[in-house]
Amino acid sequence: MRQWIFTRLLRLLVGDLSRYGMPKPDHKLMETHPLLSDQFVPHLRHGDIEILPDIKGFDGDAVLFSDGSGRVFDQVICATGYDWEVPYINPDLLPWSRGRLAPPLSIFPDVPNLFLLSFIESNGSSFSLFNEMSWVIGRAIKSEAKAPLEYTKLRDILKSTRFDVTGGLKMQDTDRHVGYMNNETYRKALVRLRKLMGWPVAEVAPKP
């Protein structure tokens, strides 16, 4: 429903950007990580930004495009993204998949005393999730140190329970979208884990 609504809102508010040279998307809205900018479209409409074909190669200072054209530029900036790496941990200990990490709840690789934080890609602000992830990690560390049976229960739940973190999102099958999650659904998954463990669902202020 959200996809249907936002598609029509964008069509109404922004219009068809192909008239400014933007290629038509080869996927539906919300099937790739969103690009948010309130300046791109105005600059595109005013001609400050020009859309060019895919780059095929280089010939000296000239950039060669897929349509057979070429143009000389002073600089070419390659915005190619980034790779995930944890160079201080043996890669065999982590569940790598196509350059991404996707253990249960993006926190729990199948290794004692090892927890992950911030290795997530989502359709909202990932930073807003770190506090809730940290709370769960802290409780898991406490259980492992002081309540071995509770920690065993946690690991059993992680192995036997499927936690939905997508909320029905159907992303393109690219490396970037391995383990991609919906913020709202991920929060619900963390709450579900707390309930299964008998942990408080919300923070409780300490008594004075």
Domain ranges of the chain: 1-49, 52-80, 91-197
Other Cβ atoms less than 10 A from the Cβ of 182: the count is 20
Other Cβ atoms less than 10 A from the Cβ of 22: the count is 14
User: At residue 165, what are phi and psi to the nearest 5 degrees?
Assistant: -120, 5
User: Mean pLDDT, the chain, as a whole number?
Assistant: 89
Quote the tokens at residue 194. 């707390």
Quote the tokens at residue 146. 């002081």
Reported as a single tens digit per residue, the pLDDT across 29-72 is 888 887 778 888 899 889 999 999 999 999 998 999 999 999 99
Higher pLDDT, 3 or 106: 106
Summarize the chain as % helix, strand, coil (round to 5): 40, 10, 55
